[in-house]
């Protein structure tokens, strides 16, 4: 079934359940008291001490309790809702836009929903569990424990030496570089549809001369197949420019207005159409408006083409990360970040290292920020992550991700993983499977993973459509030696090109920089060092930009939180902006560079 974003329409109502929920972490010695004592069968306040917890937000940084910040295990949330009388003839759906990581949901003590994995939505139609007269108790248990077959993977490590650790002591090892924030990260919604409803819509676009070609398929949900359908393509002013009555159809928009990324066109670039679908059945009428853009993506041996014109992807990989709320959705933060991206002159982001909130993706579509849409396949660094359970889950995550983001014009590349282990033979079957599966799901977009090593001794890169490489010359090796950067960048890229006749995007390069720390001559961790370091890369990039280099992305947009570690000074400091979104010296450097590249590459 589909996972259309809940949208208001004449036939659909949405109630956001965000707000202050009741909360408790299961800190019992077994970490399992909540299930043993069936906390979901009673109000959470009757099981012990509860605290208020905002939804959406990570729970980690909300309280003053270090044990909760670093907690591993089940946490319990609870809230209450009522069903409006006028909803009684409707299909009522409970949707979580995401929760991290494992989630179980009960309504009035009855289990209604389970989902494995953070970052992606899940939902269920509520039926017999619903109380129509009076309050409904919604209980949610969320577990952030990572295992070798979760994405991202992790390992629980028991410390058995009782001379040095208390009995039962364990830690969670992760091999990805960001804090494993947890909780109900995005909105929780109740929404209605008629009992026969529009379940999914797939739109694929193409361009022929001045015509836009729009191939759509509509999928019904519910008991009846006896439906009639009316489809309109509306332009940005709401005027119908094409109509049809079929379930699947190829429509033509004459004199189409194309979707261009910011930076490719002088005009407002990210033109969005709406596919308005009206479905009528014995159960009534359902209306859904699906936004889409008309554009093509193609990769040649040296270029990344959008609408058959070369696109240079200059931007930043990001994180969902900020003070207090962790990875929780925050509209103010989203608006601020897009204003900063525009200020910077960025044309592109990578959703490192997991799918971002749909509200963020909407802004990418509407503001013309191209996206390398990345799965949570980060930290795949051991052969223990290549088993059947891992692969099966990874394929399922790609299903969920493509299903969610397939209609977005901003998404130009799927990234199935970041910096995985590729130097063992097991990596070949694994990545071949994940990449081919993703290409099957969506034959219209290039598929890749982001490489940290290679091309020598690498079993997996041969399956990608475009090379995305992360490079840290003069940081993780030759630390401090900015004078070798240009030589090493050129040597490395030419070597990649000898192995693979496809274009390259440098998806990471960067140096940790503590804002306000200055030294001349430059020294690692100072703002001077970051500027000097980035400038050396730029000199090298400029020699390859018009040949086969089709993108450059500084790691990272902003400083972000990591686990506690001797290499991290309260988080990763490679941001152009601080975690509070104030610019470092490097942000001004990049603004100048991106603006001048943009002036050079404007093509429409
Ligand atoms: C992934 C990203 O999540 N890339 C990392 C970023 C970093 O700042 C991290 O935050 O560390 C860099 C990977 C570096 C690979 C180092 C290879 C070392 C060879 C000696």
The residue nearest atom 16 of ligand 1, judged by CA position, is: 476
**pLDDT recorded at residue 601:** 84
Environment class of 245 (CB within 10 Å of its CB; exposed 0-12, middle 13-18, buried 19+): exposed
Tell me, in angstroms, the distance from the centre of ligand 1 to residue 472's CA.
Answer: 7
- Give the mean pLDDT of 63-92: 96
Tell me, in angstroms, the distance from the centre of ligand 1 to residue 426's CA.
Answer: 22
**pLDDT recorded at residue 269:** 84
pLDDT at 92 over 90: yes
Ligand 1 site, residue 472, Cβ cutoff 6 A = yes
Listed in sequence order, the DSSP H helices in 72-166 are: none
Ligand 1 site, residue 479, Cβ cutoff 6 A = no
CA dist., res. 60 & res. 18, Å (int) = 18
Tell me, in angstroms, the distance from the centre of ligand 1 to residue 451's CA.
Answer: 10
Assign 170 to helix, strand or coil: strand
What confidence tens digit (pLDDT) does each residue in 413-444 have? 999 999 999 999 999 999 999 999 999 999 99
The residue nearest atom 6 of ligand 1, judged by CA position, is: 177
Phi and psi at residue 462, in whole multiples of 5°?
-65, -15
DSSP assignment, residue 85? G
Ligand 1 site, residue 177, Cβ cutoff 6 A = yes
Assigned token pair, 576? 């152009």
Percent of the chain clearing pLDDT 90 (strictly above): 95
Tell me, in angstroms, the distance from the centre of ligand 1 to residue 62's CA.
Answer: 29
Name, in order, each residue with C-beta under 8 angstroms of 170's C-beta and a sequence gap of 6 or more.
72, 156, 157, 158, 159
Of 5, 136, 162, 143, the residue nearest 73 (C-alpha): 143
Ligand 1 site, residue 559, Cβ cutoff 6 A = no
- Give the mean pLDDT of 376-388: 97
Closest ligand 1 atom to residue 574 Cα is 8
What confidence tens digit (pLDDT) does each residue in 502-538 have? 999 999 999 999 999 999 999 999 999 999 999 999 9
| Residue 328 and residue 54 in contact, taking contact as beta carbons nearer than 8 Å | yes
pLDDT at 355 over 80: yes
Q: Residue 267 — pLDDT band, cuts 50, 70, 90?
A: confident
What confidence tens digit (pLDDT) does each residue in 20-73 have? 999 999 999 889 999 999 999 999 999 999 999 999 999 999 999 999 999 999
- pLDDT, greater one: 503 or 88: 503
pLDDT at 604 over 80: no
Closest ligand 1 atom to residue 453 Cα is 17
What confidence tens digit (pLDDT) does each residue in 150-190 have? 999 999 999 999 999 999 899 999 999 999 999 999 999 99
- Give the mean pLDDT of 403-421: 98
**pLDDT recorded at residue 129:** 83
The residue nearest atom 15 of ligand 1, judged by CA position, is: 452
- Give the mean pLDDT of 561-570: 96
Average pLDDT over the chain, rounded to an integer: 96
Question: Is 419 a known active-site residue?
Answer: yes
The residue nearest atom 9 of ligand 1, judged by CA position, is: 177
**pLDDT recorded at residue 291:** 98
**pLDDT recorded at residue 242:** 97
Ligand 1 site, residue 562, Cβ cutoff 6 A = no
Percent of the chain clearing pLDDT 70 (strictly above): 100
pLDDT at 343 over 90: yes
| ipTM score assigned to the predicted complex | 0.96
What confidence tens digit (pLDDT) does each residue in 247-260 have? 999 999 999 999 99
Ligand 1 site, residue 492, Cβ cutoff 6 A = no
- pLDDT, greater one: 178 or 129: 178
Ligand 1 site, residue 374, Cβ cutoff 6 A = no
**pLDDT recorded at residue 266:** 75
Tell me, in angstroms, the distance from the centre of ligand 1 to residue 292's CA.
Answer: 35
Within a 13 Å sphere around the CA of 278, how many CA atoms are in the beta-carbon half?
10
489 to 273, 347, 455, 468, 504: CA distances (angstroms): 41, 23, 14, 14, 12
Tell me, in angstroms, the distance from the centre of ligand 1 to residue 469's CA.
Answer: 11
Ligand 1 site, residue 565, Cβ cutoff 6 A = no
- Give the mean pLDDT of 90-109: 97
Closest ligand 1 atom to residue 512 Cα is 8
Ligand 1 site, residue 487, Cβ cutoff 6 A = no
**pLDDT recorded at residue 602:** 83
pTM for the whole thing? 0.97
Of 320, 276, 283, 405, the residue nearest 5 (C-alpha): 405
**pLDDT recorded at residue 489:** 98
Q: Which one of 78, 320, 419, 532 is the catalytic residue?
A: 419
Assign 462 to helix, strand or coil: helix
**pLDDT recorded at residue 477:** 96
Ligand 1 site, residue 574, Cβ cutoff 6 A = yes
**Angle in degrees, CA 320, 98, 431, rounded to 5:** 75
Q: Choose one of 422, 456, 508 to mutate for the ligand 1 pocket test, by most ligand atoms within 8 angstroms of C-beta.
A: 508
């Amino acid at each position: 079934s589909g996972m259309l974003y809940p949208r208001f329409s004449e036939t659909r109502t949405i109630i956001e359940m965000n707000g202050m929920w009741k909360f408790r972490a299961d800190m019992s010695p077994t970490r399992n008291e909540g299930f043993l004592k069936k906390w979901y069968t009673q109000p959470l306040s009757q099981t012990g001490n509860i605290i208020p917890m905002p939804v959406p937000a990570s729970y980690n940084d909300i309280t003053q309790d270090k044990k909760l910040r670093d907690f591993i295990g089940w946490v319990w949330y609870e809230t209450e809702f009522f069903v409006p009388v006028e909803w009684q003839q409707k299909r009522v759906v409970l949707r979580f836009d995401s929760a991290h990581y494992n989630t179980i949901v009960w309504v009035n003590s009855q289990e209604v929903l389970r989902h494995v994995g953070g970052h992606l939505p899940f939902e269920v139609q509520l039926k017999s569990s619903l109380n129509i007269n009076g309050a409904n108790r919604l209980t949610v248990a969320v577990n952030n424990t990572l295992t070798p077959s979760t994405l991202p993977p992790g390992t629980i490590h028991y410390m058995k030496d009782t001379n040095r650790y208390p009995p039962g002591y364990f830690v969670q090892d992760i091999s990805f570089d960001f804090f494993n924030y947890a909780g109900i990260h995005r909105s929780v919604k109740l929404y209605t549809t008629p009992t026969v409803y529009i379940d999914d819509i797939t739109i694929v676009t193409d361009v022929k001369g001045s015509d836009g070609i729009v191939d759509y398929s509509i999928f019904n949900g519910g008991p009846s197949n006896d439906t009639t359908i009316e489809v309109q393509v509306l332009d940005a002013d709401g005027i119908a420019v094409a109509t049809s009555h079929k379930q699947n159809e190829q429509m033509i928009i004459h004199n189409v207005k194309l979707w261009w990324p910011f930076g490719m066109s002088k005009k407002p670039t990210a033109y969005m159409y709406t596919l308005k679908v009206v479905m009528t059945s014995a159960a009534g009428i359902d209306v859904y408006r699906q936004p889409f853009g008309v554009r093509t993506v193609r990769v040649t041996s040296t270029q990344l083409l959008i609408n058959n014109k070369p696109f240079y992807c200059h931007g930043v990989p990001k994180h969902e990360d900020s003070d207090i709320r962790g990875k929780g959705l925050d509209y103010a933060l989203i608006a601020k970040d897009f204003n900063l991206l525009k200020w910077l002159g960025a044309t592109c982001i990578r959703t490192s290292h997991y799918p971002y909130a749909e509200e963020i993706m909407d802004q990418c579509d509407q503001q013309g920020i191209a996206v390398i849409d990345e799965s949570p396949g980060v930290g795949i660094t051991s052969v223990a992550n290549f088993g059947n359970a891992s692969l099966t889950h990874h394929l399922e995550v790609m299903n969920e991700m493509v299903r969610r983001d397939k209609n977005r014009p901003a998404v130009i590349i799927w990234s199935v993983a970041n910096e995985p282990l590729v130097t063992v033979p097991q990596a070949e079957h694994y990545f071949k499977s994940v990449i081919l599966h993703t290409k099957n799901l969506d034959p219209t977009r290039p598929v890749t993973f982001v490489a940290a090593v290679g091309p020598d001794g690498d079993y997996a890169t041969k399956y990608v459509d475009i090379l995305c490489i992360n490079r840290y010359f003069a940081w993780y090796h030759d630390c401090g030696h900015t004078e070798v950067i240009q030589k090493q960048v050129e040597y490395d890229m030419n070597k990649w090109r000898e192995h693979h006749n496809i274009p390259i995007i440098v998806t990471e390069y960067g140096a940790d920089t503590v804002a306000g720390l200055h030294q001349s001559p430059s020294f690692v961790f100072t703002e001077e060092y970051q500027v000097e370091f980035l400038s050396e890369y730029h000199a090298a990039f400029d020699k390859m930009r018009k040949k086969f280099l089709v993108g450059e992305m500084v790691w990272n947009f902003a400083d972000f939180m990591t686990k506690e570690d001797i290499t991290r000074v309260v988080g990763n400091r490679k941001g152009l902006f601080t975690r509070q979104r104030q610019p470092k010296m490097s942000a001004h450097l990049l603004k100048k560079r991106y603006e001048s590249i943009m002036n050079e590459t404007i093509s429409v």
